[in-house]
Amino acid sequence: MVDLLLQKFSEVSFLSGMPSALLFVLAATLIALPLFMFVAVNALVAVYAERKISAFMQDRLGPMGQGVGLHAGKWGLLQTVADAIKLLIKEDIIPALADRKLFILAPFILFVGAFIVFVGIPFNQHILVADFNIGVFYIIAMSSIGVIGIIMAGYSSNNKWSLYGAMRSAAQIISYEIPLALSLITVIMLVGSLKMQDIIIAQHGLIWGILPNWFIFNNPFTFIAFFIFFISGVAEVNRTPFDLPEAESELVAGFHTEYSGMRWAFFFLAEYANMFIVAAMTSIIFLGGWQSPIPGFLNGPGWGLFWFFSKAGFLIFVMMWFRWTFPRLRTDQLMQMCWKYFLPFSLINLLGVGLWDLWLN
């Protein structure tokens, strides 16, 4: 994308005299701003969706408004906007006993950590900010920066609940990273590349003439790997039933108990950004990304966006579905699930995929 923009810039006369480094910065900025907008809008839409989905699951209407006067717009569409404004004009409180530097730094790390992951995500055939040759690895690496922000937030608040939240989060996120990466490796073995676009293109076509050649259907082991990957991803972003770091009935609000106003809003934005990342990654790696389910059908760049967002959107819906139907696990159960079930299973998966591949070739 950056190269594309730079090419475009060279055609514009008044820009041609500028130093190339400046042009590069300009190009990257021009991409970063819409991407930031996308992250913000994603959170707005997701929060609204979460409200409505939870409401319909719970036999109620959710945010609604009608008639004249101050209200949340038709069907409560403006509810999240009102929330954002409320957060913006809320008093910003840093506890007197907190570690100020870390306290201020934490939302930056958490949010920026989530934001730069978007650099590596292909939205369709062309929209991909930077096509790394280690794409998948980059995303795995960058998405675990967030945990540092969480630990920082929890520790710096000097609040016992926050400390619990941070400690739980540390144990949880590092643990679930291993099954996540191991199930990712099964796919990389089959593709032989770490590039995101290569992984998507490898899923082109049909198997047995009916099913799309997505990795979820490729063989029984990748089928299991899909579930391990997705569930570990849900655990990575602290959603119910794995929302222990912010379990509101136990830890009040967990690691962000002391945060308020805009600082808290960035934790919130990061959470929804991370949710989107997990859903996007799952759909890219196992569900064919922007590929249409039927090869050659509705396959243009616009349709690519459509397929990508509908797959990711469905997975986000599933995450919300989890949240509003399941109780929460306990810390030890959570850890046991990772180390005693997911880890052995993903190791066996690795073995299985290797054998399957050797046997077929």
> Which of the residues 280 through 299 are near other proteins (CB under 8 A)?
none
Of 122, 54, 169, the residue nearest 307 (C-alpha):
122
Contact residue for other proteins among 51, 71, 204, 328 (CB under 8 A): 328
Out of 139, 147, 150, 163, the only residue in the binding site for other proteins (CB under 8 A) is: 163
Number of helices followed by number of strands (H, E) in the chain? 15, 2
Q: Note whether 351 binds other proteins by CB under 8 A.
A: yes
Interaction of residue 131 with other proteins, rule CB under 8 A: yes
157 close to 257: Cβ distance less than 8 angstroms? yes
On the question of a cis peptide bond just before residue 245, with omega within 30 degrees of 0, the verdict is no
Tell whether residue 93 is a contact of other proteins (CB under 8 A): yes
**Minimum CB separation from other proteins for residue 339, in Å?**
5
Q: Would you give the distance in Å from CA 76 to the centre of its chain?
A: 25
Among 16, 66, 310, 325, binds other proteins (CB under 8 A): 325
Residue 244 or 312: the one with the smaller Cβ distance to other proteins is 244
336 binds other proteins (CB under 8 A): yes
Binding window for other proteins (CB under 8 A); candidates: 69-77, 175-183, 226-234, 297-305? 175-183
As a whole number of angstroms, the distance between CA 5 and CA 26 comes to: 9
Let me know if 208 is exposed, middle or buried by CB neighbors in 10 A (0-12, 13-18, 19+): exposed
Please say which residue, 32 or 82, places its beta carbon nearer to other proteins: 32
Does 214 contact other proteins by CB under 8 A?
A: no
Contact status, residue 229 vs residue 183, Cβ threshold 8 Å: yes
> How near is the Cβ of 312 to other proteins at its closest, in Å?
21
Closest to other proteins by CB, 145 vs 305, is 145
Q: How far apart are CA 315 and CA 355, in angstroms?
A: 30
Q: Which of 160, 205, 207, 302 binds other proteins (CB under 8 A)?
A: 160
β-pair partners for 211: 207
Q: Do 180 and 229 touch, CB atoms closer than 8 A?
A: yes
Distance CA 248, CA 228 (A): 26
Enumerate residues 46-75 that contact other proteins by CB under 8 A.
54, 57-60
Q: Which of 121, 150, 152, 182 binds other proteins (CB under 8 A)?
A: 182
**Bridge partner residues of 248 (DSSP):** none
One of 116, 148, 201, 206 touching other proteins (CB under 8 A): 116
Two tokens at 357? 């591949």
For tokens 């998966």, name the residue: 349
Stretch that binds other proteins, among 70-78, 207-215, 304-312, 347-355 (CB under 8 A): 347-355
Backbone φ and ψ of 219, nearest 5°: -155, 165
Judged by CB under 8 A, the chain residues 243 through 272 that form the site for other proteins are 243-244, 247-252, 257-258, 261-263, 265-266
The first and second tokens of residue 119, run together, are: 């650099």
Segment interacting with other proteins (CB under 8 A) among 92-100, 203-211, 294-302, 307-315: 92-100
Number of residues that bind other proteins (CB under 8 A): 107
Question: Nearer Cβ to other proteins, position 11 or 59?
Answer: 59
List the interface residues with other proteins, window 1-20 (CB under 8 A): 2, 20
In the chain, beta strands by DSSP E? 206-207, 211-212
